[in-house]
Every structure is written in structure tokens, then in C-alpha cells.
Amino acid sequence: MTRLAGEETDEEKLEAIRSLVENDEIKPILRDFGTQTRRETDKKYFHIFLIVLLFLTGLGWLFDNQSHIKTD
């Protein structure tokens, strides 16, 4: 089987990934990236929670005000 230039086998790709993961210089980068992603995810869900809470509060205020309107 002939391989094209620049084409790697799966074993070569796995070995390259293993060498990157085992490299001590890249471990802190991976750890920081994981925490940063978690922090950003938490922030996103917190903002969604605040928007939903504000929306439901606004709906409650709107319907509460309409219940006081008297029609004769």
C-alpha cells in the first residue's frame, strides 16, 4: 500500500498525541484550558438562569398588575 506524502498511520498519530500528553510543558496548558472552559460554561448557564428569572419576574408583575384592573 502506498502512502501519500504527509499521510500518517493511526499508530503514528496516537504516538504523537501520547508524546504531547506526556510532555510536562503542555500539561499545565491542558489543565488551564479545562478549567477555563468549565468556568465559561458555568458563567453561560448563570446568565441564562438570570435571564429566565428576570423574564418570569416580569410576567408575574404583568399579570399581577392586570388583576387589579376593574372593569364596570
pLDDT in tens, the chain (72 residues): 455 656 678 888 888 877 777 766 666 665 666 566 778 888 989 999 999 999 999 998 888 877 666 665
Distance between CA atoms of residues 43 and 50, nearest Å: 11
Q: What is the pTM of this model?
A: 0.44
- Other beta carbons within 10 Å of 42: 10
